[in-house]
Amino acid sequence: MSALLQDDDDDAEEITEEELRRALSPGRASSPGDDGITYAVLRLLQQVPGNPLLRLYNLCLRDGCVPRAWTGSTIIPIPKPGTAKFRPISLTSCFCKGMERILLNRLMYRLQDRLSPWLFGFLPQRSTHHCLVDLYSRLSRDSVVAFIDLRSAFDVANRDVILDQLVDFGIKGNLLRWIRGYLSNRNSRLFFSGALSPLRSFHLGTPQGGVLSPLLFNILMHRLLTSP
């Protein structure tokens, strides 16, 4: 792993203006993180001569660096209708989400056809409908089906297994370093009843509300489904 992290002979080419434009497309909206900076502000930065936002993203990718301010989040619990339970909504940096969107597009281009065909969630042109059709086509009178609900699945995902599988997929160098940095040093705080809790560090899981998190979880499930 360490040798692959140091390997600069990878596909982490400079981010283009077109990639940035698509990542920050006008139809894309999201609540800001702790810095209060929205996608609208990032789109304005795009228009500044010299495109400092593009330069920042390329610097982060070149060095495999994730700024510490990008790894924090504020979690707001939203009541679930008809129950006493809450659904956590995580507010993260739009700076980070823009970078994630660019790298998500690159990773999907490389990995979509290599992921297990048994994965149906969070993937283009796949859905629960496709899963049900596939399941129905395989059913016979003597079939047994087991449905499993993975509780807090993203929260306990093993980061080392995700990184190992990325290496198996041929991801290395700057891009691998950036993803490792993205998964490391995560911290969150809770906003509830007008008060903020102290920051808490997390050493497991993929980031709540992260643009890359669904794909990274699918990569973990791919390892589970394809392991002997």
Please state, as a whole number, how many other Cβ atoms lie within 10 Å of the Cβ of residue 191.
Answer: 14
Question: In the prediction, which pLDDT does 8 show?
Answer: 55
Using pLDDT thresholds of 50, 70 and 90, give the confidence band for residue 126: confident
More confident residue, 143 or 183: 183
Question: In the prediction, which pLDDT does 11 show?
Answer: 58
Decide if pLDDT at 25 tops 60.
Answer: yes
Using pLDDT thresholds of 50, 70 and 90, give the confidence band for residue 101: very high
Which parts of 64-150 fold into alpha helices (H)? 94-111, 128-138
Per-residue pLDDT, averaged over 172-179, amounts to 94
Which uninterrupted H or E stretch holds 55?
Answer: helix 52-63
Please state, as a whole number, how many other Cβ atoms lie within 10 Å of the Cβ of residue 126.
Answer: 16
Per-residue pLDDT, averaged over 38-62, amounts to 95
Query: What sign has the CA pseudo-torsion 209, 214, 220, 224?
Result: positive
Question: In the prediction, which pLDDT does 150 show?
Answer: 82
- Summarised one tens digit per residue, pLDDT across range 208-223 is 889 999 999 999 999 9
Judged by average pLDDT, the poorest of 3-7, 42-46, 55-59 is 3-7
Question: In the prediction, which pLDDT does 5 show?
Answer: 56
Residue pointed to by tokens 């596939």 = 134
More confident residue, 138 or 113: 113
CA distances from 142 to 15, 138, 139, 145 (A): 53, 11, 8, 10
Q: What is the rounded distance in angstroms from the CA atom of residue 225 to the CA atom of residue 180?
A: 23
Question: What contacts 24+ positions apart, CB below 8 Å, involve 104-113?
Answer: 104/211, 104/212, 104/215, 105/19, 105/22, 105/23, 106/11, 106/19, 106/175, 107/171, 107/212, 107/215, 108/215, 110/11, 110/169, 110/170, 110/171, 111/169, 111/215, 111/219
Residue type, 220: L
